[in-house]
Amino acid sequence: MRYHTPSTFEDAARLAAEASGITRFLAGGTDVLVQMRAGAVIPDDLIDLKKIPGVSEIAQTEEGGWRIGIAVPGARLGAHAGLCADWPGVVEGMELVGSTQVQGRATLTGNLCNGSPAADSVPGLVAAGATVEISGPSGLRSAPVEDIPAGPGKTTLQPGEVISAILLPPRGTAGGDAYQRFIPRTEMDIAVVGCAISLTLDGNSIASARVALGAVAPTVLLVPEAAAAITGTTLDDDALAALTTAVEAACTPISDKRGTAEFRTEVAGVLARRVAKIAYARAKGAEA
């Protein structure tokens, strides 16, 4: 295994483009090292991105959104007051990842690029309308987060492409988001179902919404039908019932030791109702 420590994303992309064998980027390493240890993936080239200047920074963008460096670990997101105030749902998704020790290392970008359908931070990013900046052989491009996962363990990133930042849009006034997952215990487990919702209000009525589901399909899903079910409503009982129907219809889960397909589908509806209420309350000014 060759270990590289490029000092620019251009160099990182070039190293990846030139590599012919198994290539991995190293952010927090909490997936990469586990896979190496298990013998599942032993990279020929491992490209450590943490020496690139700026990768550990969280910065406000000119438009009032946030630019999150690809090496910012979960614990740092949780400690950032401004980010927690704007996007509590994104932060709470990432904070569910692993233990205190894992939080010291694990990143949003690694969670996204590992490609797990149950990745806890991804529904929150999708609901928030986050985008990624991608450096590649032909320069920079950007893509919505929901376009990155391609199936379990797979992404749509092309050889030689590396994510160079995650961008959250401005929250604006009267907006709120939330994420919850179902696991059979309170800590340290993989989501059976996850759901994130971000919405904005016009008075008491929902002006816009984005609903994302985890662990109920081969990738994290954005469900526009579920968003449409609550848009224009005050999240009354009819709206919650329509949300449940739309969410359940979007689920195509597998049955495994964590839960049957029927169970996952039902829990997705339950979580969507709970998460919608929290996001609504936060948009009304409730503290996260």
Ligand X SMILES: Cc1cc2nc3c(=O)[nH]c(=O)nc-3n(C[C@H](O)[C@H](O)[C@H](O)COP(=O)(O)OP(=O)(O)OC[C@H]3O[C@@H](n4cnc5c(N)ncnc54)[C@H](O)[C@@H]3O)c2cc1C
Minimal distance in Å, beta carbon 98 to ligand X?
3
- Round to whole Å and give the CA distance between 5 and 57: 18
Q: How far apart are the first and last CA of the chain?
A: 44
36 binds, options another protein, ligand X, none, Cβ within 5 to 8 A by partner type: another protein
- Binding-site member from 45, 83, 114, 176 for ligand X (CB under 6 A): 114
Helix/strand number for the chain, H first, E second:
11, 14
Sign of CA dihedral 17, 20, 24, 25: negative
State yes or no: residue 193 binds ligand X (CB under 6 A): no
- Round to whole Å and give the CA distance between 12 and 280: 41
Nearer residue to another protein within complex by CB, 26 or 212: 26
Q: Is residue 154 within a helix (H) or strand (E), and if so which, with residue range?
A: strand 154-155
284 binds, options another protein, ligand X, none, Cβ within 5 to 8 A by partner type: none
175 binds, options ligand X, another protein, none, Cβ within 5 to 8 A by partner type: none
Q: Provide the phi-psi class of 139: left if phi over 0, else alpha when psi is between -120 and 50, else beta.
A: left
Phi/psi for 229 (5° steps) reads: -65, -25
- Binding-site member from 19, 27, 220, 226 for ligand X (CB under 6 A): 27
Nearer residue to another protein within complex by CB, 79 or 140: 79
Minimal distance in Å, beta carbon 86 to ligand X?
21
Footprint of another protein on this chain (CB under 8 A)? 1-3, 26, 28-30, 33-34, 36-38, 42, 46, 48, 50, 73, 75, 98-102, 104-105, 187-188
State yes or no: residue 103 binds ligand X (CB under 6 A): no
Nearer residue to another protein within complex by CB, 33 or 254: 33
Residue pair 58/72 in contact (Cβ under 8 Å)? The answer is yes
- Could you tell me the two tokens for 255? 């049955």
Q: Is residue 197 within a helix (H) or strand (E), and if so which, with residue range?
A: strand 193-202
- Round to whole Å and give the CA distance between 115 and 149: 6
173 binds, options ligand X, another protein, none, Cβ within 5 to 8 A by partner type: none
Q: Closest CB to ligand X belongs to which residue? A: 110
Nearer residue to another protein within complex by CB, 24 or 273: 24
- Round to whole Å and give the CA distance between 266 and 104: 34
Nearer residue to another protein within complex by CB, 103 or 135: 103
State yes or no: residue 98 binds ligand X (CB under 6 A): yes
Sign of CA dihedral 60, 63, 64, 66: negative
State yes or no: residue 212 binds ligand X (CB under 6 A): no
Minimal distance in Å, beta carbon 37 to another protein?
5
